Amino acid sequence: MSHSIDLCDVTLGYGRHPAVHHLNGRIEAGALLAVVGPNGAGKSTLLKGLMGQLKPLDGRITLNGFGVRDIAYLPQLADIDRSFPLPVYDFVAMGLWRQVGLFKRIGAGERGRIEAAIASVGLEGFETRTLGSLSGGQVQRALFARLLLQDARVILLDEPFNAIDAKTAADLLDLIGRWHAEARTVIAVMHDLETVRRRFPQSWLLARELLAAGPTDEVLRAENLLRARRMVEAFDPFAAACDRGAA
C-alpha cells in the first residue's frame, strides 16, 4: 500500500466556527503540493490540522505510513520573535531536536551537519549573528537550514516566500526541488500564483471549502479563482449548527 495523508470530511476551526469546512482529499507521498486561496481561507489552519496541533471539529485526518513525528513545519516569519538574542548557529542547531532532545550534547558529527546546513542556504559567516540583526530573507534561509537538519519525510511550509527577494526565493525553491527529487512530501501555502504554476505540479484551491484539487494548470483556471474570491471572509456569530454530513 502506498503512503499518503488522507482527509475524510475534515472540519477544522476555532471555537465552533469552521475555518476549513468538510474537506475531503488525499495527498500522496512524494507530492509537491501548493495550497492556495484568499486570506482567511483556512490554509494555515489546514497545516495545523495536518500536524495534529489542531484537532478536527469533525471528520478524520489519517496518516498512512507516516507518524506525526515525520512532519517538519516552517512557521510564518511573523510567528517568530526575532528580537530574541539567540545566535544563528544555535537557532539552526535546534533542527536536530529529534537527535539531541533536551540534554544530549551536540558533538563533532552534529556540528558538521549544522555547518553543512548553514552552508547550503548560503549563510556562512553569519553563525554568531543574532536573528534580530538579519534581514527577512536571511531569517528565512536560517529557517530552511533548520528544516534541512530535521530531515523529515513530510515538510509543511507556511507562506515561505512572503516578503522575500527574488534571489532568495529562487535559492529556496531549488532546495524544495531537491526535497521533491528525494521523494519527500512537500506541502506549501503559497500566494504567488506564478511561482506555483512554474514549480508546483499539484495544487489545492482552498476557500474554507476545497474548491479544486489536482494538476496545477487545471486548479488555477480563471473561473476557479473567481469563485475563490467570492468567498465570504467574515464568520457569522449567529451561524446555525451545520448539519451537513450529520444525516
Verify binding: residue 79, another protein, rule CB under 8 A. Answer: yes
* Neighbour count for residue 64 (Cβ, 10 Å): 13
Verify binding: residue 103, another protein, rule CB under 8 A. Answer: yes
Verify binding: residue 238, another protein, rule CB under 8 A. Answer: no
Residues 217 to 236: which contact another protein by CB under 8 A? Answer: none
Cα–Cα distance, 170 to 101 (Å, whole number): 32
Residues 22 to 51: which contact another protein by CB under 8 A? Answer: 51
Q: How far is the CB of 102 from another protein (least distance, A)?
A: 6
Task: Select from 1-9, 78-86, 199-207, 212-220 the region that touches another protein (CB under 8 A).
Answer: 78-86
Task: Select from 109-117, 130-138, 159-167, 178-186 the region that touches another protein (CB under 8 A).
Answer: 130-138
73: closest CA among 178, 143, 177?
143
Verify binding: residue 136, another protein, rule CB under 8 A. Answer: no
DSSP structural state of residue 230: T
- Inter-residue contact 54 to 45 (CB < 8 Å): yes
154: closest CA among 22, 64, 233?
64
Verify binding: residue 138, another protein, rule CB under 8 A. Answer: no
Verify binding: residue 177, another protein, rule CB under 8 A. Answer: no
Cα–Cα distance, 111 to 109 (Å, whole number): 5
Alpha carbons within 13 A on the beta-carbon side of 219: 23
Which chain residues interact with another protein by CB under 8 A? 51, 53, 71-73, 75, 79-82, 84-87, 91, 94, 97-98, 101-103, 130-133, 146, 150
